[in-house]
């Protein structure tokens, strides 16, 4: 137990020494903090409250990030939007990561026909351009945050399956796996106790990158009116509301835009840093995915 704790500390220390990883970690922590405040409803004002006397007010001491067309406080809406983004992103990545990794491990370990069938299925999913697939899924299922989470999960499923399957192929040939099998361990114990711990590095990296893509996609879907529905606050919705007013009230566009950028950048940098720290051999791979 103590051994594990020191190892984890070592990882954190190495991550904080990695410049981009440290920057990413800070951004992600800031995002999580803001999102947590949003989840708990800790906003300076109610995000939907309209101050009609202060419509389209520029940033000031009273409204630090300004107000929108209905006099709603942009700072409060950003905070509550962070919670929406986080919820969608985490739901999506948990679904995609859990199922995708399970399928990938199964395919890699079973090999043969199972592998072939599963991976061809994943190839079919992968053949659809990512954002297009997400769009199609959301329009078919109907707009809303939970459906956009599902859409994002479906898009990311084949990527997790591939990332999990690759290392399983090499790990399953190693002696300790053979030894575990010779000892008569059931396949599920071999997979969970001996294979899974040895393929977590690329999966963790992928989780971070997937979160960044999920944030971006949630914003894009909401922008198009397919994700979170107004009047609920979401960064994408706020951006799309800012569009006709961009010349009169640029702060309506700038702050949600910056928020999306910071969140996406954070998870991206963190994923990159984790990759360097966890497995230097992985550097540069999956970068295009």
Partner 1 sequence: MFRFIVRRILTAALTMVAISVVAFLIIELPPGDYLTSYAATLAEQGDILSEERLEQMRVSFGLGEPLPTRYFKWVGNIVLRGNFGRSLEWRIPVNQIIWHRIGYTVLINISTILFVWTVAIPIGVYSATRQYSPGDYIATFFGFLGLAIPNFMLALVLMWIGFSVFGQHVGGLFSPEYRDAPWDLNKFIDLLSHLWIPMVVVGTAGTAGLIRTMRANMLDEITQPYVETARAKGLAEWRLIWKYPVRVALNPFISTIGYALPELVGGVVIVAVVLNLPTIGPILLRSLLSQDMFLAGAIILIVSVLTIIGTFISDIMLALIDPRIRLE
What residue ranges bind partner 1 (CB under 8 A)? 20, 120, 123-124, 127-133, 135-136, 139-140, 212, 216, 219-220, 223-224, 239, 242-243, 246-247, 250, 253, 257, 260-262, 264-265, 268-269, 283-284, 287-288
For the chain, what percentages of helix, strand and coil (3-state, to nearest 5) are there? 75, 0, 25
Return phi, psi of residue 73, to 5°.
-75, 120
Q: How far is the CB of 250 from partner 1 (least distance, A)?
A: 7
- The CA distance from 158 to 174, in Å, is 25
Q: Is the CB of 63 or the CB of 235 nearer to partner 1? A: 235
Q: Give dist(CA 120, CA 107) in Å, integer.
A: 11
Of 173 and 247, CB closest to partner 1:
247
Among residues 190 and 269, whose Cβ is nearest to partner 1?
269
What is the smallest separation between the CB atom of 120 and partner 1, expressed in angstroms?
7
Ramachandran angles phi, psi of 34, nearest 5°: -65, -45
Q: What is the DSSP letter of 144?
A: S
C-beta atoms surrounding 201 within 10 Å: 17
Q: Of the two residues 33 and 132, which places its CB atom closer to partner 1 in the complex?
A: 132
Specify the residue, 150 or 220, whose C-beta has the smaller distance to partner 1: 220
Angle subtended at Cα 28 by Cα 128 and Cα 136, rounded to the nearest 5 degrees: 20
Q: Whose Cβ is closer to partner 1: residue 167's or residue 263's?
A: 263
R_g of the chain, CA atoms, integer Å: 22
For the bound state, the minimum distance from the C-beta of residue 132 to partner 1, rounded and expressed in Å, comes to 4
Which lies closer to partner 1 via its Cβ, residue 103 or residue 260?
Answer: 260
Beta bridge partners of 67: 73
Cβ 142 to partner 1 shortest distance, Å: 8
Minimum CB separation of residue 226 from partner 1 in Å reads: 9
Nearest CA-CA partner of 38 in 93, 85, 89: 85
Residue that has been written with the tokens 């999913």 in this structure: 125
Whether residue 222 contacts residue 228, with contact meaning beta carbons closer than 8 Å, is answered with yes
C-beta of 148 vs 212, nearer to partner 1? 212
Smallest gap from residue 274 Cβ to partner 1 (A):
15
Which residues lie closer than 8 Å to 107 by C-beta, 6 or more apart?
A: 114, 115, 118, 119, 161, 165, 168
Write down the least CB distance from residue 6 to partner 1, Å: 30
Q: Name the minimum Å distance from CB 276 to partner 1.
A: 11
Buried b (16+ CB within 10 A) or exposed e, 181-195: eeeebeeeebbeebb
């Amino acid at each position: 137990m103590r051994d594990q704790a020191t190892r984890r500390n070592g990882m954190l220390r190495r991550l904080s020494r990695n410049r981009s990883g440290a920057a990413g970690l800070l951004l992600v922590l800031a995002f999580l903090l803001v999102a947590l405040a949003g989840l708990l409803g800790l906003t300076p004002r109610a995000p939907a409250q309209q101050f009609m006397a202060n419509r389209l007010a520029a940033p000031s001491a009273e409204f630090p990030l300004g107000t929108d067309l209905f006099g709603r406080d942009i700072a409060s809406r950003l905070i509550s939007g962070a919670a929406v983004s986080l919820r969608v992103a985490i739901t999506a990545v948990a679904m995609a990561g859990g199922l995708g990794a399970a399928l990938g491990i199964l395919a890699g370990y079973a090999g043969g026909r199972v592998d072939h069938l599963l991976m061809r299925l994943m190839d079919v999913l992968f053949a659809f351009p990512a954002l297009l697939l997400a769009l199609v899924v959301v329009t078919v299922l109907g707009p809303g945050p939970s459906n956009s989470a599902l859409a994002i999960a479906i898009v990311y499923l084949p990527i997790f399956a591939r990332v999990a399957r690759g290392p399983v192929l090499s790990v399953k040939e190693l002696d300790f796996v053979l030894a575990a099998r010779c000892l008569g361990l059931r396949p599920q114990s071999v997979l969970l106790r001996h294979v899974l711990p040895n393929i977590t590095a690329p999966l963790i990296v992928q989780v971070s990158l997937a979160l960044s893509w999920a944030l971006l996609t949630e914003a894009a879907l909401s922008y198009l009116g397919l994700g979170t529905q107004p009047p609920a606050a979401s960064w994408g919705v706020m951006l799309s509301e800012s569009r006709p007013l961009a010349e009169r009230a640029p702060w309506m566009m700038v702050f949600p835009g910056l928020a999306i950028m910071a969140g996406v950048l954070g998870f991206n940098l963190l994923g990159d840093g984790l990759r360097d720290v966890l497995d230097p051999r992985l550097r540069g791979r999956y970068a295009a995915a």
